[in-house]
A and B are shown apart, each in its own frame.
Chain A
Amino acid sequence: MIGYIIRRLLYAIPILIGVNLLTFTLFFFVNSPDDMARIHLGGKRVTPEAIVKWKDDHGYNKPLLYNSGRPGTGKITDTIFYRYSVRLFVFDFGSSDQGRDIRNDISQRMWPSLAIALPVFLVGILVHITFAMLLAFFRGSYLDTSGVVLCVIMMSISSLFYVIGGQYLISMLLRLVPISGYDLGFEAVKFLILPIIVGVVGGIGASTRLYRTFFLEEINKDYVRTARAKGLSELRVLFRHVLKNAMIPILTGVVVVIPLLFTGSLILESFFAIPGLGSYTIDAIHSQDFAIVRAMVFLGSVLYITGLILTDITYTLVDPRVRLE
């Protein structure tokens, strides 16, 4: 298995280079270094000299991908792409175009992101699996039918509705928790309750339906019938046998997102004023801060690849038939 993991890690290098190249191309297709300079220098009284100076200082005065004016390897290395990409592979994110240290920003902002994403993830799994099992248990009944209909309705509603509706109902009408904000330490709890509820409730529709399908698929298999024939109660069958086997597709689906919990949720963080990483990238896109954009895309790619590798490993743990070679 170690050989497999090493091979996967080596495969990740060309993937990361490709992702970097794609990000770079897309970003500079939309924004030229002159545009970036204008945005950073402000909307008023920006002179051509100031733009040239800003580009010089931030290394955007070089060709994008190929420097025909330089000899040898300089044709590749003396370019914006090389300058901004190579350091990423040692996780040196450098400074944002505004001058802030990106690694420092990320290390500060990942904790608020995790403070929401982790409980949403864990409570979400618990709640969604519970509901799915409940529907599977009462399969074919009115409870199941109405549950499925409710799930379809819930998954058809925009996540923004849950956010705004949750804020209006719980914070404005019932006045139970603050509408938005964040604090450090234990004080953070009162700010996290609402986004966590919204995050979990918002995911009930889609996840419950999916997990219900997994359970129903297992519930009609021979080994379940055998278990019932042994005289086990339905609850025991469900928890001991069905749950265990249905967890294989569930786990492989959720493990891949675990590393991405660090990158946070854009909508939740934005509406609840949580200073996490979710809004960091989108803010950088708005302010045309390429340094942050490429760092966050790179980080996202690394985490996603990590998630995929973890998923593969999880397969071997939950299903003894699978061997990584």
Chain B
Amino acid sequence: MKRPGATRYALLAISLIFSAGAAASWNNPYPAAEAKSNILYSAFRERPKTFDPARAYSSNEYLFIAQIYEPPFQYHYLKRPYALTPLTAVSVPTPVYFDKHGRRLPHNTPAAAIAYSVYEIHIRPGIYYQPHPAFARDADGRYLYHALSTHDLAGIYAIGDFPRTGTRELAAADYVYQIKRLAHPKLHSPILSVMNEYIVGLRDYADTLKKEYEKIAGGRDTGVFLNLAKFPLAGVEEVDRYTYRVKLHGKYPQLLYWMAMPFFAPMPPEADRFFSQPGMAEKNLTLDWFPVGSGAYMLTVNNPNRQMVLERNPNYHEELYPAEGEPEDGAAGLLDDAGKPMPFIDKVVFSLDKESIPRWNKFLQGYYDRSAVLTEGFDQAIRFTGEGDTEVSDTMKQKGINLRTSVAASTYYLGFNMLDPVVGGNTERGRKLRQAISIAIDFEEQISIFENGRGIAAQGPLAPGIFGYREGQAGINPYVYDWVDGKPRRKPLEYARQLLVEAGYRGGVDPASGKPLSINYETPAIGPERKAQLDWMLKQFSKLGIQLVVRATDYNRFQEKIRKGDAQIYDWGWNADYPDPENFLFLLYGPNKKVGHDGENASNYDNPEFNRLFERMKNMENTPERAEIIHRMLEIARRDSPWIWGMHPKNFLLEHSWMYNAKLNQMANNTLKYSRLDPDKRAERRVAWNRPVVWPIVAVLGVLVVGAVPAVVTYRRREREGAV
């Protein structure tokens, strides 16, 4: 029998390679078995710092913990303007007001007369925590893992390494426990200083805990459990198993917004005790990294160096997809799942991908289900319509990719230091100089050139969607814009030059020196990629004959200059914590100045009338009276121009055709549970888009073989010559 030769084997191998290529995607980064699973694939760019709900405050941390921890309230997914709805609570409570003698006050009592507000929150019964070893008990009801020795911890590196888990019903006491944790001396909660002002007794409570902790710790850094249940907090009490009460100084309606953030999510004391055991921190087993919640998902893989995996919480309580939204939501298919139980997706895999190009390419291959729009890939993904709107490019359309946009509840601005003798001051000269510069800096151009149209020019500090923000002619900044042909138009440069003359700087010349007015611009924008923007900024000032001195520095030095009031003009931004005008306007409140007060008012703006109105407005309900006060405040701020009102960025999200229910919500972070996907459609598209192309490899090998022939010939010739 004739044995198959090398040629036959080679042909067999090649045909196998080609046939394998037709069957599967070789560039699939996920296991083939997951191809048709109900899994959402996403990426994260940097490892989160902490998952502890008392500390986490960044979007990259909320991306995970907002799906796990359940504060009592949440934002309605579809409705705009943003509205709070209950999550674990029975309802969003109405506060009860008291005077300083403890007498109950009517609801319409002026804020100044209110000594205390009390919020009573009722939690729904029947909500259970995710399975977790902290709750595991033996047959006698004793906790299995609350007294672990070093020996017990050998071989334990992750929560999944504990063989047994348990659960228990969510209780009001868990919410009380978490509020107490905000004052824990080792947690450094970023909102402690804010809450100290309002929650009765919290400041003293922090001091008490500090002393107690030092007593217990005895110099140890880890393995210390401070049982907060033993220390009562005057302003927060458990009324019964499903009810707790929070007592505040004065009136502070914004507390409800805070209570929709993970800071106010429940923390079971068992989890705190479990993670505080000696030896746990040394294995990175802490609440910083292993959240314990009752939310739609639980963290099952926690490797911030590689991958984070959220899986459906088997104990999740019933929650139905909303049946109401904005008028256009129905037509957009956003109400198709109304009344269906959530979450829809079984598992969410987040892979660490630091670099934008691989991330973008994986999205194009179908291996990430959603993506932001890359600046580098903007032209590839987005195009502008004749009306100036944006839509996906033809290439993206062919792939069925959809675009969602939404203006963020954020503002990026250029601030004047009001303490500076040149650009600051509450004088007509200073005002006119600032107004002139505000007109000259063409933010529409900046948005068009550097942001690819992803933003809108700001008319004041309030972002769209925030109470008090006005659309149309009523909402424009009349010191910078005119209303022409139904839209705002920046005032002409001539007008700015005239203002400059009135300010005493004819042609931008400083009369004191006879030279062009020189202004220092502090920015943390360093690196070659920002040079074009800084050059553009120089050009804007030169339109008025003003010489801008760019002082780009690292973020630490930049902050230091702002803190000390050493800046003249600087750029900065603010992302809203909650959709209330107070959260923007406090950035201009005098007692909140950076210099001397270490507040968030980086411009050190201090207008007594603005301050007075702010104090009236900040604790009001959203009434027409409040809106009127806000408009007066905006008028003052626009006239004084402590900021050049910059822009509100627009978020762009691209998603594949197999994704459903996407609506950008700038306030809610727990949005994964609303998402739905069609895994079969995705699997089919992925295969179609990712068939391996093998022939170039064969061709390269062929070229190498052919190329080797002259080398072999040369070698043989040399050998023969050597022999001769």
Ordered by A's residue number, 20 sampled pairs between the chains whose C-beta atoms are within 8 Å are A42-B57, A42-B58, A48-B598, A100-B289, A101-B281, A137-B715, A138-B711, A172-B361, A174-B693, A174-B696, A175-B693, A176-B26, A176-B697, A177-B27, A178-B27, A179-B361, A180-B362, A190-B26, A283-B46, A287-B49
Interface size on A, residues (CB 8 A): 65
CB contact list, A21-70 vs B, under 8 A: 30-32, 35, 38-42, 44-50, 53-54, 57
CA distance A168 to B361 in the complex (A): 9
Question: Judging by beta carbons under 8 Å apart, are A182 and B306 in contact?
Answer: yes
Q: Which chain A residues lie closer than 8 Å to B354 at the CB level?
A: 270, 273, 279
B86 to chain A, nearest CB (A): 27
Chain B residues near A (Cβ < 8 Å): 25-29, 31, 46-47, 49-50, 57-58, 185-186, 188, 190-194, 221, 281-284, 286, 288-289, 303, 305-306, 351-355, 357-358, 361-362, 364-365, 367, 554, 556, 559-560, 577, 598, 600, 690-694, 696-697, 710-711, 714-715, 718-719, 722
CA distance A176 to B282 in the complex (A): 41
Is A217 an interface residue, CB under 8 A from the partner? no
Question: Judging by beta carbons under 8 Å apart, are A53 and B26 in contact?
Answer: no
Question: Judging by beta carbons under 8 Å apart, are A175 and B690 in contact?
Answer: yes
The listed residue (A99, A174, A191) touching B697 by CB distance below 8 A is A174
Is A108 an interface residue, CB under 8 A from the partner? yes
In this complex, what residue of A is CB-closest to B26?
A176
Q: Which chain B residues lie closer than 8 Å to A233 at the CB level?
A: 719, 722
CA distance A129 to B192 in the complex (A): 62
CA distance A266 to B637 in the complex (A): 48
Q: Which chain B residues lie closer than 8 Å to A30 at the CB level?
A: 554, 556
CA distance A49 to B189 in the complex (A): 12
Question: Judging by beta carbons under 8 Å apart, are A50 and B188 in contact?
Answer: yes
Q: Which chain B residues lie closer than 8 Å to A48 at the CB level?
A: 598
Is A145 an interface residue, CB under 8 A from the partner? no
Question: Judging by beta carbons under 8 Å apart, are A95 and B281 in contact?
Answer: yes
Q: Which chain A residues lie closer than 8 Å to B193 at the CB level?
A: 45, 47, 49-50
The listed residue (B28, B353, B711, B714) touching A180 by CB distance below 8 A is B353
Residue-wise interface mask of A (114-142) relative to B, using a CB-CB cutoff of 8 A (1 in contact, 0 not): 00000000000000000000100110010
Besides A39-B556, A42-B57, A98-B49, 19 other A-B contacts (C-beta < 8 A): A31-B556, A42-B58, A44-B190, A45-B57, A50-B188, A50-B192, A53-B185, A98-B50, A99-B50, A141-B714, A167-B357, A172-B361, A178-B27, A179-B29, A179-B362, A179-B365, A181-B29, A228-B722, A273-B354
Question: Judging by beta carbons under 8 Å apart, are B186 and A47 in contact?
Answer: no
Question: Judging by beta carbons under 8 Å apart, are B27 and A176 in contact?
Answer: yes
Question: Judging by beta carbons under 8 Å apart, are B306 and A35 in contact?
Answer: no
Question: Judging by beta carbons under 8 Å apart, are A138 and B714 in contact?
Answer: yes
CA distance A191 to B31 in the complex (A): 12
Is A150 an interface residue, CB under 8 A from the partner? no
Q: Which chain B residues lie closer than 8 Å to A42 at the CB level?
A: 57-58, 190
Question: Judging by beta carbons under 8 Å apart, are A104 and B284 in contact?
Answer: yes
Given A182-B306, A234-B718, A234-B719, A272-B358 contact (CB < 8 Å):
yes
Question: Judging by beta carbons under 8 Å apart, are A175 and B25 in contact?
Answer: yes
Question: Judging by beta carbons under 8 Å apart, are B26 and A177 in contact?
Answer: yes
Interface-central residue, B29, B50, B357, B714, by most chain A CB under 10 Å: B29
Question: Judging by beta carbons under 8 Å apart, are B27 and A175 in contact?
Answer: yes
Question: Judging by beta carbons under 8 Å apart, are A179 and B27 in contact?
Answer: yes
The listed residue (B25, B49, B282, B559) touching A101 by CB distance below 8 A is B282
Is A222 an interface residue, CB under 8 A from the partner? no
CA distance A45 to B189 in the complex (A): 10
The listed residue (B284, B305, B693) touching A173 by CB distance below 8 A is B693
CA distance A10 to B718 in the complex (A): 55
Question: Judging by beta carbons under 8 Å apart, are B598 and A273 in contact?
Answer: no
B715 to chain A, nearest CB (A): 8
In this complex, what residue of A is CB-closest to B560?
A35
Q: Which chain B residues lie closer than 8 Å to A49 at the CB level?
A: 193
CB contact list, A230-289 vs B, under 8 A: 233-235, 270-273, 275, 279, 283, 287-288
Q: Which chain B residues lie closer than 8 Å to A157 at the CB level?
A: none
Given A171-B361, A174-B696, A45-B556 contact (CB < 8 Å):
no
Question: Judging by beta carbons under 8 Å apart, are A271 and B598 in contact?
Answer: no
In this complex, what residue of B is CB-closest to A48?
B598
CA distance A275 to B352 in the complex (A): 8
In this complex, what residue of A is CB-closest to B286?
A99
Q: Which chain B residues lie closer than 8 Å to A104 at the CB level?
A: 282-284
The 3 closest A-B pairs by CB, nearest first: A275-B305, A178-B29, A35-B556
Q: Which chain B residues lie closer than 8 Å to A212 at the CB level?
A: none
CA distance A234 to B600 in the complex (A): 77
CA distance A40 to B166 in the complex (A): 34
Q: Which chain A residues lie closer than 8 Å to B715 at the CB level?
A: 137, 234-235
Is A209 an interface residue, CB under 8 A from the partner? no
Question: Judging by beta carbons under 8 Å apart, are A175 and B692 in contact?
Answer: yes
In this complex, what residue of B is CB-closest to A181?
B29
CA distance A3 to B380 in the complex (A): 65
Q: Which chain B residues lie closer than 8 Å to A279 at the CB level?
A: 354
The listed residue (A40, A45, A54, A143) touching B49 by CB distance below 8 A is A40
Interface-central residue, A40, A180, A228, A287, by most chain B CB under 10 Å: A180
CA distance A34 to B192 in the complex (A): 19
Is A294 an interface residue, CB under 8 A from the partner? no
In this complex, what residue of B is CB-closest to A287?
B49
Is A187 an interface residue, CB under 8 A from the partner? yes
In this complex, what residue of A is CB-closest to B289?
A100
Given A174-B697, A175-B690, A180-B29 contact (CB < 8 Å):
yes
Question: Judging by beta carbons under 8 Å apart, are A181 and B188 in contact?
Answer: no
Q: Which chain A residues lie closer than 8 Å to B281 at the CB level?
A: 95, 99, 101
The listed residue (B288, B303, B559) touching A38 by CB distance below 8 A is B559
Q: Which chain B residues lie closer than 8 Å to A187 at the CB level?
A: 31
CA distance A174 to B697 in the complex (A): 9
In this complex, what residue of A is CB-closest to B191?
A45
In this complex, what residue of A is CB-closest to B28?
A178
CA distance A264 to B282 in the complex (A): 24
Q: Which chain A residues lie closer than 8 Å to B27 at the CB level?
A: 171, 175-179
Q: Which chain B residues lie closer than 8 Å to A31 at the CB level?
A: 556
CA distance A35 to B47 in the complex (A): 20
Q: Which chain A residues lie closer than 8 Å to B711 at the CB level?
A: 134, 138, 143
Q: Which chain A residues lie closer than 8 Å to B284 at the CB level?
A: 100-101, 104-105
CA distance A321 to B672 in the complex (A): 69
